[in-house]
Amino acid sequence: MSTPTAVAKPAATPENDAPRDFIRQIIREDLSSGKHTAIRTRFPPEPNGYLHVGHAKAICLDFGIAREFAGWCNLRLDDTNPGKEDPEFVEGIKDDVRWLGYEWHDLRHASDYFEVFYRAALKLIQDGQAYVDDLSPEEMREYRGTLTEPGRNSPYRDRSVEESLSLFRRMRAGEFPDGSKTLRARIDMASGNMNMRDPAIYRIRTVTHQNTGDEWPIYPMYDYAHCLSDVLEGITHSLCTLEFEDHRPLYDWFVDKVDLPSHPELWEHMRQAGFHTEPAKPRQIEFSRLNLSYCITSKRKLAQLVNEGLVDGWDDPRMNTLRGLRRRGFTPGGIRLLIERLGVSKQNSVIDYAILENCVREDLDASAPRRMAVIDPLRLVITNLPDAHEESLSFSNHPKDESFGSRQVPFSRELWIEREDFAEVPPKGFHRLKPEGEVRLRGVGIVKCVEVIKAADGSVSEVRCTLDPESRSGMPGADRKVKGTIHWVSARHGVAAEIRLYDRQFNVPTPDDESDGKSWIEHINPDAKRIVRGWLEPAAAAAAPEQRYQFERLGYFVADRLDHRAEVPVFNRAVTLRDTWAKQSA
């Protein structure tokens, strides 16, 4: 158990301009009626993989509501499925929650409560509410029935309390092989809700657990462990996505039938284990999950991408895991802005990925300093400057915010410019550099192309220009108008860099839709990652890992959190300056 990082505060109602949705309205009513004096929530991921962008909505809602109403939120690891879980994922989940800007009141694990779950199961058997079943998993599925046909009672459903108690204790002692027996709730095999047809409570699994080792050969099912964990932690509002709506009757059934608050011996056990939360009867409330186009959020499929080497790991910037988005350069503020703008509802829908990208752009536009970089370099030589010419020019770090200050940028006779900023045969409407044409060099002055040098293969290798000295800052011709302005990097002072250009992982909005005869893997975007060699102004190369910049006229980039070093810079493109997919889909 971790030491609490915060204490519960008196309940408060958010200001009038706070988000207003059906969940927050329920909470306001619960506070005003006196049903609750403090709000307690929890975020309960299973540690069998890294969190993805879909989890961000749950994180922002669980932790955000607790913060808004001066309550608290636990981070609880639902570790009831050993064999698929790993401490690496636990640490990753903690890191992702903190990266999004939240801190938990207490760190809990479902395994903290295994003894209580076991004792509560004994109570259910004693009360005639549970029985040990010998049906195999295949037979249980057959007996369960269908959506249109009721299930059938197991031949073991009428076992006596004494026999089920004996068998369950022997299950706990490890006397039976995996899958040979199951503890089931005795509810209603004819229920129209499939979840209420005598669901499993415990199964036998002789698998080592990451926290409890080999202490337990039986493990509780999610529906059973989840609701009792909420009670034990004093959770008031159990927020979950819509797929759990049909599970709510079972959630309430377990809470009511176990009735943990009426068993002081279980609470004494919890206090001896170091837990002192008072019990509560939580209310489950469902909301629509975050579904984005061009995305896969199945943990199984995300793991497949990693295991088959289709990506470079869980934090590959092509992945929509939170670790991947972070490494790509997306911001916590941009993701929180998306969640805020989408709001909370019960209507499932697919959100255009461009909305997330625009939220990230908006956040970065305000927070990212500007730098100059060239990612497809073409040499430009200013012939009317001396070979040894160099000077230092002052540039604002942010054109919209003077508080960012300024920096010095070296300028010399030879520069790198973007290859696309020169056209030997310019298309209609082209306002950049062309033979005998003029363009303004950002922060320098106006240059005119006087000569084009070509390589042996006929490609342009260099453009030679003259600089109009009267067009420089402070000179009489500084205000002379030309239609185009381009950026540059000093060839003498620029720092070579690896630039990784990332884009959407899939090239269709619904990669899971296989109606076109293709599998989801066949929809992987082959251009989702491209690596180029570029040049940076020195101030960009000196960035710390995870420093984000707007590379002027190119997009928003981040210094890679693992590979970047000042002497060998590596930058990842987070997003372009504009939505480049809009044209493709038009």
* The two three-digit tokens of residue 319, written as one number: 């992945």
* The two three-digit tokens of residue 498, written as one number: 């690896």
The amino acid at residue 476 is P
In terms of phi and psi (left: phi > 0; alpha: psi -120 to 50; beta: otherwise), the region of 198 is left
**CA separation (Å) from 63 to 71, 239, 321, 343, 417?**
9, 11, 19, 15, 47
| DSSP SS3 for 436 | coil
Is 281 among the residues known to form the active site?
Answer: no
Residue 39 phi, psi dihedral angles, 5° rounding: -100, 130
- Residue 47 annotated as lining a ligand binding site: yes
The amino acid at residue 348 is N
Q: Do the Cβ atoms of 549 and 371 come closer than 8 Å? A: yes
CA nearest 573: which of 506, 501, 504, 503?
501
Per annotation, catalytic residue among 281, 289, 432, 442: 289
- Residue 289 annotated as lining a ligand binding site: yes
Indicate the helix (H) or strand (E) that contains 286: strand 283-287
- Residue 567 annotated as lining a ligand binding site: no
DSSP 468: -
- Residue 472 annotated as lining a ligand binding site: no
DSSP 15: P
CB contact burial 317-347 (16+ within 10 A = b; e otherwise): bbbbbbbbbbbbbbbbbbbbbbbeebebeee
CB contact burial 110-143 (16+ within 10 A = b; e otherwise): bbbbbbbbbebbbbbbeeebbbbbebeeeebeeb
Non-local (6+) Cβ contacts of 122 within 8 A are 165, 168
Cα separation of 197 and 141, whole Å? 11
> What residue has token string 């479902």?
110
- Residue 264 annotated as lining a ligand binding site: no
Is 245 among the residues known to form the active site?
Answer: no
Per annotation, catalytic residue among 9, 28, 46, 546: 46
Per annotation, catalytic residue among 119, 299, 442, 448: 299
- Residue 82 annotated as lining a ligand binding site: no
- Residue 318 annotated as lining a ligand binding site: no
- Residue 48 annotated as lining a ligand binding site: yes
Query: β-strand 414-418 against 489-490: which pairing, if any?
Result: antiparallel
What is the C-alpha radius of gyration for the chain, rounded to an integer number of angstroms?
31
Cα separation of 571 and 561, whole Å? 9
Is 492 among the residues known to form the active site?
Answer: no
List residues forming the annotated binding site: 46-48, 78, 222, 241, 289-290
Residues making up the binding site for L-glutamine:
78, 222
Q: Residues marked as binding for ATP?
A: 46-48, 241, 289-290
Catalytic residues, by residue number, are: 46, 289, 299
